[in-house]
Amino acid sequence: MSVLVTGATGRVGSLVVENLTRAGVPVRALTRRAEAVATFPPDVEVVTGDLTVPDSLETALRDVSTVFLVWTAPPDTVPAVVERLAAQAGRIVFLSSPHRTPHPFFQQANPMAELHDRIERLIAASGAESTIIRPGMFASNAFAWWAPAIRAGQPVRWPYGGAETAPVDDRDVAAVAARTLHGDGHAGGDHVVTGPESLGQAEQVAIIGEVLGRPIEFQELSPDEFRRETAATWPGPVVDMLLAAWGATMGRPAFVTSTVLDVLGSAPRTFRQSVADHVAEFVSSPANR
């Protein structure tokens, strides 16, 4: 019996596929895009299917024991898909978010958190065994947000420089998820997965500068300036969600858990380690120009 990994071409899912393959677990990877098949190692079975078309999942779910569920699709087909997963696999590990954690950063109005909550309730009602994985802020978000300015030798212009998060490396999130997919005793688990330290956003930019060996200027923007600067390129609800979360957490340390150590027996990567492993993203080269 295989583990079906949805979101298998994405940030976390692709690393879950890698972890499971390394552990010798038979993996079936789901993608909507037939052309993505070529990007997987030959020992991964790749199937096409679309979470918004429940009937398209029939082949993907045949002889599967467990599903890793990532939902970035529109929500209409969630009930039909969860019902199918529960009936055919019986065990679901869901990539959610820490919306139940009583820390102001996670308690602001957020449509993604509402969707995650709905999916979790449907999974609980389905009778399937489940494990919920709730990563905090991904370190890779910071890389994606700030690398273009840093590569161009410009200051990072950003709001709430003092807002603290505990950035978690995608690889640690994926390793925890993969362990709960193939290890014993993880049914019913509910894991908030964070990095090891609470760091202000300006402090994170300074760490990137230290790793690169040159200071990077941090220019503090007001929330309205940030809204104006991102208006053409970011979805408004995402900007509002982030501003609300950063604003609410000002003056408080980030929520930090020991989940990575508890589940994997090894310490989570620090933000500095994550940056050091992604230096190429901050340096201008033909590949990222």
Ligand X SMILES: NC(=O)c1ccc[n+]([C@@H]2O[C@H](COP(=O)([O-])OP(=O)(O)OC[C@H]3O[C@@H](n4cnc5c(N)ncnc54)[C@H](OP(=O)(O)O)[C@@H]3O)[C@@H](O)[C@H]2O)c1
* Cβ neighbours, 10 Å, residue 60: 26
Q: What is the rounded radius of gyration, in angstroms, for the C-alpha atoms of the chain?
A: 19
Nearer to ligand X, 100 or 219 (CB): 100
Q: Minimum distance between the CB of residue 225 and ligand X, rounded to whole angstroms?
A: 23
Q: In the structure encoding, which two tokens stand for residue 204, read together? A: 């994170």
Q: In the structure encoding, which two tokens stand for residue 258, read together? A: 């020991």
Nearer to ligand X, 114 or 224 (CB): 114
Nearer to ligand X, 72 or 222 (CB): 72
Buried/exposed 109-143: b ≥16 CB within 10 Å, e otherwise: ebeebebbeebbebbeebebbbbbbbbbbbbbebb
Where along the sequence are the contacts to ligand X (CB under 6 A)?
A: 6-13, 31-33, 36, 50-52, 70-73, 95, 97, 112, 135, 137-138, 141
Antiparallel, parallel or unpaired: β 156-159 and 218-221: parallel
Q: Minimum distance between the CB of residue 32 and ligand X, rounded to whole angstroms?
A: 3
Q: Minimum distance between the CB of residue 71 and ligand X, rounded to whole angstroms?
A: 6
Nearer to ligand X, 49 or 161 (CB): 49
The residues, ordered by sequence, that sit 6+ positions from 190 with a Cβ below 8 Å of its Cβ are 131, 132, 134
Q: In the structure encoding, which two tokens stand for residue 85, read together? A: 């997963």
Q: Minimum distance between the CB of residue 147 and ligand X, rounded to whole angstroms?
A: 15
Alpha carbon distance 183, 3 (integer Å)? 12
Q: In the structure encoding, which two tokens stand for residue 267, read together? A: 């310490």
Cβ atoms of residues 70 and 13 within 8 Å? yes
Q: In the structure encoding, which two tokens stand for residue 187, read together? A: 């049914």
C-alpha closest to that of 51 among 2, 111, 141, 115:
115
C-alpha closest to that of 36 among 49, 27, 24, 25:
49
Nearer to ligand X, 113 or 202 (CB): 113
Q: In the structure encoding, which two tokens stand for residue 182, read together? A: 């193939």
Nearer to ligand X, 104 or 219 (CB): 104
- As a dihedral over the C-alpha atoms of residue 266, residue 272, residue 276, residue 281, rounded to 10 degrees, the angle is 120
Nearer to ligand X, 109 or 152 (CB): 109
Position 120, amino acid:
E
Nearer to ligand X, 30 or 202 (CB): 30
